[in-house]
Amino acid sequence: MIDAKKRIEELTLQLQDYNYNYYVLDNSLITDFEFDTLLKELQDLEEKYPEFASENSPTKRVGGEVTKKFEQVIHKYPMLSLSNSYSKEDIIDFETRIKKLTNDEIEYVCELKYDGVAIGIQYVNGVFHQAVTRGDGTKGENVSTNVKTIKTIPLKLRGDFPKDFEIRGEIFFPLENFERLNKSREENDEPLYANPRNTASGTLKSLDSSIAAKRGLDCYLYGIYGDNIEIDNHYELVKKAKDWGFKIPLEENNYIKKTSSIEGILEFIDYWAEERKNLPFEIDGVVIKVNHYDNQNRLGYTAKSPRWAIAYKFKAERVSTILEKITYQVGRTGAITPVANLTPVQLGGTTVKRASLHNADIIEKLEVREGDTIFVEKGGEIIPKIVGIDFDKRPTNSIPFQYITNCPECNAPLERQEGEANHYCVNENGCATQIKGKIQHFIARKAMNIDGLGTETIVVLYDNGLIKNISDLYSLHYDELIGLDRMAEKSVNNMLDGIETSKKIPFEKVLFALGIRFVGDTVAKKLARNFKTIDNIISASFESLIEVDEIGDRIAQSLINFFAKQENQLIVEKLKQKDLKFEVEEVEGATNTLEGMIFVVSGVFNQFSRDELKKSIDKNGGKVSSSISSKTSYLVAGDNMGPAKLKKAEKLEVKIISEEEYIKLIK
């Protein structure tokens, strides 16, 4: 038994080393036959002595585990999307804006934008812990059993890796493997898969990990997140990750490039615009990131994306088809969106039947008419859009298109304010489509997050006259719900419990849930923190509103217009009576002692854990940053603090204080 344990350990280390050399270093140390022989020996030993088998054994690569469902995991670091660009002018503007905001010489890192599935993989003490999909950016699905089958992803690390960190990248389907899969399906008279990206996504969601193992997915990893990482820039950290055993974008293949000029960025874009067709996998653009983390932190984030990165998307595939009819959609804010209904056509691996025409100006600019032969592209490879007309094929009986003047749902007159692109239905509280849209927004996850309620249920409740606005949700009763379409006892109770639970949702989310035009979740948070109560916001003047950070003229006027309407004031009053939260709940012991100060925390402390120290800074009005910059007020230094942070703090003359000095500061 002791010999078996020793042999299992030897084989595990040996096979991990062969995997690393083959998949990361492109260096084959043994033949496939020799590798398979050793792997079979390990499998046999693990079956005979399962108590000695490692959870992250190389044998896990073959898959076979069956998952009943995927666990939802909240991301420790939100997985944000990048803002997209389709022109070099946008990239030049981005680089100019970065220089202006930082007033600094900036290094950039250019990378390929892999067309696959975003993944975050956590390692603890050098061992694979879990792999989570992007999901909605806040939480994703734990697909660890399938990700473990991807041979380029190490199950155990080597070298001087951080104790606990996450590495992110893109899982994709190599073109050769994808074509082999489709050829096999064709031979078996099975329908072919449309494209590598969607097939990779479906493979990762397979409940049987042996399917993922057989298909041969691959992965490039390019972003590292953790609390105690001493390297201060993205480029060097990605290079370092290769030493830990990861397959990362290669400099020698020009998959990643560091540059300090816009010329270098544009050169990278031009190179891959042509060379992408020679890659063994699909890309849909390139990504440009600010290299140094202190500059990234200075630039910060919007609600949806980092300000320090941008994606340049390559021009999409174009096809032609017939525009059969133009119809209209009404949004929850009353915005009217014209929609082109098309003769179905294949584009980018999917069948396209509709495309947005956005607004009246776009229709006029395109000079588009019903019956035209039009050219369609997929904007960002996802949303179909009309990009031109084949005027030579225009029918002789064609007539210019007339934009509607009344709402297609309630027939109320449409209005278009100066400076606005869209026409709007002004019947805010009488247009059924708007009302249902507002209620659907109200119950959404980022808003009131009401369990047991969905889009179809809202339609049933509205059509049966049980709700006319968001406040009516809180007056629903069991007796009037039971027996309605889709309403059994369990679903009714779940809905009523979800509605009751939503009364605990904090003020900032309630404010966002009201659905005020231009008031997103970030703006709602800033309004709540500055004005504290809904009454203060309702009574606020235009001047006091625009004094708040990120609140411009348009948002301020929208707030004033919303609360000027008696119907909206009445809804707020009804929600107050139902005990929803319309004021900020003060945190016990909170102060403004550290207001305006930025702290970096490093090392091990006696009276606080690192997380407790960060919470204390936040509670007292300060801001915590992960890296040191010229804007850092204090570095709070504990035992075993990293030498790189200390060196940088001294170089930038940032004041270094101990845990005891911090406690004195807040007192």
Question: Which secondary-structure segment (H or E) carries 374?
Answer: strand 373-379
Mind listing the pLDDT tens digit for each residue in 400-446?
Answer: 999 999 999 999 999 998 878 889 999 988 999 999 999 999 999 88
Which residue would you say has higher pLDDT here, 392 or 23? Answer: 392
- The one catalytic residue in 113, 151, 289, 378 is 113
Question: Which secondary-structure segment (H or E) carries 400?
Answer: none
Q: What are φ and ψ of residue 502, in 5° steps?
A: -65, -15
And the tokens for 530? 């500055």
Specify the residue for token string 């909240």: 74
What is the distance between the terminal CA atoms of the chain, rounded to a whole angstrom?
61
Q: Dihedral, CA atoms, 635, 638, 639, 643, nearest 10 degrees? A: -10
And the tokens for 578? 């139902």
And the tokens for 342? 């098309």
Strands 414-415 and 383-389: unpaired
| Residues 588-612, mean pLDDT to the nearest whole number | 83
Other beta carbons less than 10 A from residue 664's beta carbon: 9
| Range among 29-33, 136-140, 336-340 with highest mean pLDDT value | 336-340
Amino acid at 304: K
Half-sphere exposure of 363 (CA within 13 A, CB side): 25
Under DSSP, is residue 448 helix (H, G, I), strand (E, B) or coil? coil
- Listed in sequence order, the residues at least 6 apart from 106 whose beta carbon sits closer than 8 Å to its beta carbon are 95, 98, 99, 260, 290, 291, 292, 295
Amino acid at 22: Y
**113 tagged catalytic:** yes
- Residue 224 above 70 pLDDT? yes
Mind listing the pLDDT tens digit for each residue in 615-655?
Answer: 888 788 787 876 788 788 999 998 877 777 788 888 888 99
Q: Dihedral, CA atoms, 536, 542, 547, 553, nearest 10 degrees? A: 130
Which of 218, 221, 216 lies closest to 249 in space, CA to CA? Answer: 221
| Residues 368-387, mean pLDDT to the nearest whole number | 78
Amino acid at 236: E
Q: How far apart are CA 36 and CA 40, in angstroms?
A: 6
DSSP code, position 21? H
Mind listing the pLDDT tens digit for each residue in 15-28?
Answer: 888 877 765 665 66
- Residue 484 above 60 pLDDT? yes
What's the pLDDT score for residue 381? 42
Q: How far apart are CA 534 and CA 517, in angstroms?
A: 16
Which of 429, 581, 593 lies closest to 515 in space, CA to CA? Answer: 429
And the tokens for 285? 């653009």
And the tokens for 174? 């190599």
Contacts 24+ apart (CB under 8 A), 37-42: 38/11, 38/14, 39/15, 41/11, 42/8, 42/11, 42/12, 42/15
And the tokens for 623? 């801001």
Q: Are 46 and 11 in contact (CB under 8 A)?
A: no
Q: How far apart are CA 179 and CA 478, in angstroms?
A: 55
| Residues 471-484, mean pLDDT to the nearest whole number | 94
Question: Which secondary-structure segment (H or E) carries 348?
Answer: none
Strands 72-74 and 218-225: unpaired
Q: How far apart are CA 192 and CA 198, in angstroms?
A: 12
Under DSSP, is residue 321 helix (H, G, I), strand (E, B) or coil? strand
Q: What are φ and ψ of residue 107, in 5° steps?
A: -95, 140
And the tokens for 60? 């896990």
Q: How far apart are CA 443 and CA 460, in angstroms?
A: 15
Strands 318-330 and 414-415: unpaired
Half-sphere exposure of 490 (CA within 13 A, CB side): 0
Which of 528, 521, 522, 515 lies closest to 558 in space, CA to CA? Answer: 515
Which residue would you say has higher pLDDT here, 274 or 28? Answer: 274
Cα four-point dihedral sign 275, 281, 286, 287 = negative
Other beta carbons less than 10 A from residue 542's beta carbon: 12
Mind listing the pLDDT tens digit for each residue in 500-547?
Answer: 999 999 999 999 999 998 898 778 988 998 899 999 999 999 999 998
And the tokens for 632? 């850092």
Q: How far apart are CA 631 and CA 636, in angstroms?
A: 15
What's the pLDDT score for residue 380? 41
- Residue 292 above 70 pLDDT? yes
And the tokens for 363? 């229709």
Domains and CATH numbers, the chain: 2-62 (1.10.287.610), 84-313 (3.30.470.30), 316-424 (2.40.50.140), 432-504 (1.10.150.20), 507-577 (1.10.150.20), 598-666 (3.40.50.10190)
Question: Which secondary-structure segment (H or E) carries 142?
Answer: none
Radius of gyration of the chain (CA): 28
- Residue 132 above 60 pLDDT? yes
Q: How far apart are CA 348 and CA 367, in angstroms?
A: 26
